[in-house]
Structure 1
Amino acid sequence: MRARLVVFPIRGRIWCFSRSADPSVSVSEASSQATTFKELRENVSISGKSFSANAELLVDFVANKMNKAWIGLEKAPEGSFKNKVHGLGLRLLSRVKPSEIFLRSITKDITRVEVIYPSSLDARLVRRRLRHVAMRGTIIHKKYLYGSVSMLPLTSSLAVLPMPNVPFFWNLFRAYSHWRALQGSERLFRLVSESSINKKEIEQKDSRSENHNSPEPYWVLKPSVELESLARRDEDEDGLSQTAIKRICKIYDLDTNDVIKYRKLG
């Protein structure tokens, strides 16, 4: 599967890295996930699956249950206790860094990426920045994954209190989020590293092949004049204005709230 990544400077030396939304993919992923314990048991019991594959099924099942519980809190009446817990959750989620959200979006089924960036940027610089984000993510999210997991036994002991165990579920979510971001970091770095094949060698191999079909690269860099124009418009000392950001997000199907988070970094 190919994913489209959009990269552009948003404020000073701070760049935005985001993936365009693909509704068809999220629908297919949701349909393939187990929704009951019976379905989970049947999927896990299928012969031939590795331990890591079964572990991922379990993690996805728990994440799906947490997502449904979150939706239930969102629909709670205004002023109710559940509504206040939802408000607390929103404040906590607003602290999640946009780079983590970006790396979570790089799923294991992505085999190629298309990188769109302003035409004024150097392609090698764009590639280095992506490699840096991926490499840094493997270090940071592995560290915080271990930290979140180590806190689960402690926070689970708070279940005896007569109220929702928010600390436990928050640490459970953070462990899941860091795990997904770690997987995305490793996947992105692998794609970037494997794409550094000498083009001349590829062309020579193609010239000797019978079908002369050029192999599709693991990623494609696409400079965009349109994105360059949008990124330069409404620019001031604080970087791109929210108006310009919303315009870019609308054209390239990006999450506006996640992109605006990059503007607040520093």
Structure 2
Amino acid sequence: MASIQELKDFTQQVRRDILRMVHAVNSGHPGGSLGCAEYITVLYQEIMKHNAEKFDMDGKDQDLFFLSNGHISPVFYSVLSRSGYFPVSELSTFRLLNSRLQGHPTTHEGLEGIRIASGSLGQGMSVALGAAQAKKLNGDDRLVYSLHGDGELQEGQNWEAIMYAAAKKVDNYIAAVDVNLKQIDGTTDQVLPMGSIKAKFEAFGWEVLEVKEGNDIEAIIAGLKKAQSLTGNGKPVCILLYTEMGNGVDFMMHTHAWHGKAPNDEQLENALAQNPETLGDY
């Protein structure tokens, strides 16, 4: 079990990785990656039962995680590498030709830790539900987790999956929604207002809990443990995780502008100064 300070140090190094990866190729999605750094860190360093040393696609007797909003791959790659799935040095190949670390995660190059190709928004929940049902059929009592963007919920396939999950009582599944209220073209309310996401999930028959401080490690741990306690009761579980896009870098916060834009040299220096090295840069 990691201490809170160790988790904070891990998250801070992940933020550095995100910034340096995106800057190096002048391409990628830093905003949402920074906003979810604490959550994915806590999943892999504190909450999930998983085995980085013996990765396989089945994940038998392990918890599984599916990243549906695949454009935030920088945070996923950083956490996977620093959790032991592949060498941290490989982060330097992000988005390069013939790299295993493409802008959106893919499976054809066999990158350890990646079980689905994601990037076409709206599909991750359907895959996660299939994995959760497979675990039930196999007598595997571990859990399945997924992460989705709030803007991603504008895709219709999500709602078919949300309806299916409740109807089939897929209660070994915890889906988190990154509620940062922003997407590539503006706020979610400007693009397509969704009303109350909580009320919608509840109307579809889910257990719903909210983590109001979605960038606070202790709040995330408490929320995930509460979510775990709600599994096995005949309902899928949804965590509404209220985060700040660009968290940890002052000029990237409170705006959607950094959804898919890389920092220049001066901006990178500023951002890294706000997040001093903790675990060693790649």
Please give the range of the TM-score, normalised by the shorter of the 2 chains.
under 0.3
TM-score with structure 1 length normalisation? Answer: 0.24
Larger Rg: 1
Q: Name whichever structure is richer in helix by fraction.
A: 1
- Normalization by structure 2: what TM-score? 0.23
